Amino acid sequence: MQDPEFFREFIASLNIMETLLPMYNSAMMTPANTAMKSDSGLTHALPVSRKRSRDSIHPLISFPNGQIQNQNSNHCGSFTFLGEDISLQVQQQQLEVHRFIAQHTERVRLEVEERRKRYSRRIIAAVEEGIANRLRAKEEEIEKIGKLNLALEERLKSLCVENQIWRNLAQTNEATANALRSNLEHVLAQVNNEQHHANYGAGGGALDADAAAMTDDAESCCGSNYAAGDDDDMRTLAAFGGEREVVKDKVDDEDCTSKNQRLCRHCGKVEARVLLLPCRHLCLCTVCGSSVHTCPVCNTPKNASVHVIMSS
């Protein structure tokens, strides 16, 4: 843009107008000034009169008519030409000023628009970056939760398998316990029959053979048992894995020999109520059952024990 040149032309036109306007004023006021100078030269030392002179009132009277008309026509022509020239220059300068203002306004508008777009792009980029960071954090959190869910699912599967194993083991133990219970009931029934036959003395030799057979069924797995007179004693079978069975024995204990045989084999003071496993000897009381670790009858190490409730 030619901004300095435009201002230079504008200042030059203003200078031309300033030079022309004094010339116009001097041309119009020349006769009056000369008259005033003549008056002031004649009456320099005198006080100024308030009345105007005839020449100052009618300046055109002192000049011939032809000369005055020529001067007026010349002045009018020159003034008309100068006025048109000045008006054209002023209009041109105004157009230049308006054009310059329009260009400057357009440039400012474009700059503001560009700056606004730049700021908008920066704001959008910042917002997108923030949203991307949040989405990344959420994705990481979702991934962690997914891994935790997988671990929990694996743990749940393992617990289900373990639960099934324990259920199967419990069912197996329950079946074993039921079988042992039925065997125990059968043995107790045989013992009751033996005692019934012994009390009524039905057939001595045959009764002794039956008693020996019943004793063999209830003897210890270690091959040892009580003395020869232990046919009237109670024998119990323990459940697999140390299960405790409570059995009530209704054996009629009338003689003192059978009572002495059912005393604790360790202390000999209290009735034996603890069945030792795996030898299945009912030979210890409750107190000695917790402290003794071997069977006092067969010296077999104790793996488990069962407390038996007996009623006389």
Over residues 124-136, mean pLDDT: 94
CA–CA distance, 124 with 118 (Å, rounded to integer): 10
Please tell me the predicted confidence (pLDDT) of residue 15: 66
In whole numbers, what is the pLDDT of the chain averaged over residues? 70
Residue 59 reports pLDDT greater than 60: no
Domain ranges of the chain: 1-34+67-165, 236-312
Taking each helix axis from N to C end, the angle separating 65-200 and 204-218, rounded to the nearest 10 degrees, works out to 160
Instruction: Give the whole-angstrom CA distance, residue 280 versus residue 217.
Output: 12
| Confidence (pLDDT) at 90 | 87
Model confidence pTM above 0.85 = no
pLDDT at 4: 61
Q: Which of 237, 217, 229, 228 has the alpha carbon at shortest distance from 282?
A: 237
145-170 residue pLDDT tens: 999 999 999 999 999 999 999 999 99
pLDDT at position 34: 43
Query: Locate tokens 């200078």: which residue?
Result: 15
Question: What are the tens digits of pLDDT across the range 243-283?
Answer: 344 334 443 444 455 556 678 888 888 888 888 888 888 88
Q: What dotted CATH number matches 236-312? A: 3.30.40.10
Alpha-carbon distance 177 to 238, whole Å?
Answer: 8
The pLDDT value recorded for residue 82 is 59
